[in-house]
Structure formats: C-alpha cells, structure tokens
Amino acid sequence: MNTLLKYYINAMQGDNIGLGTQLRRHELIIARIAIKLGGVLQASQYLNKCLYYVNIGSNDYIDNYFLPKLYSTSRSYNPEQYAGVLIDELSKSIQVLIYVSHEENKRKSFKKNNRH
C-alpha cells in the first residue's frame, strides 16, 4: 500500500453512516422532539421550519470506488453503473422520507378531525 493511501486511511475520522441508518436515527430524534415539545403536532410545527439537505455519493466514491485496494466496487461497476446504483439508493431513501412525512400528515389530519 502506498504512503498516500496509508495517510488517507489514517487521516479519516469517524465512520461513514449510511443514509438508511441516518433516516432511522432521524425518526428516533423526531419522536424525542415530540416528547420534549408535548406532542406530534408541536414537533411537526417546529420541524416544518427546518430545511433538509440530502447529499450522498461523495463518500461512496472517495471512500469506496476510488480505493480499489480496499474495496471491489470499481471492479464490479463502471462509473455510469455505480452512479446508477447510488441514484437508486437515493431514490429509495427519498421515498422513505416522503412516506414518513405522508404518514405523519395523515396522523395529524386524523387527530385533528377526531377531536371532540
């Protein structure tokens, strides 16, 4: 292994956390916020002020595709194929975000319409 590669590996701090894991953790955080703020409606109102930024791919390339001595990704896919894999993963994750948001809105609507 060359010196630059060793330096790069040693210089990395922390783990890369997959988007799916991040989304599951986000759901847990939303639940905690709801508890702290007194309910799902309050949490939703608070979180509606947030801007969400989703970025995937850079770590997948830098820490995976471009390290062929450590990972087989670049031997399994050409650049276009790997980009397609990443796009598919992002699409699935966005669908999960939309589903979670949609389910949350359905719960709020049900709760609102069933107040007495």
pTM of the predicted model, to two decimals?
0.54
Cα 78 from Cα 68, distance rounded (Å): 12
Task: Please name the residue that has the structure tokens 């890369």.
Answer: 16
* Sign of the alpha-carbon torsion through 8, 9, 10, 13: positive
pLDDT in tens, 71-97: 888 899 998 998 898 888 888 888 877
For residue 58 the two structure tokens come to 């850079």
On the CB side of 97, CA atoms within 13 Å amount to 15
Closest C-alpha among 30, 28, 93 to residue 60: 93
Check residues 45 and 54 and name the one with the higher pLDDT: 45
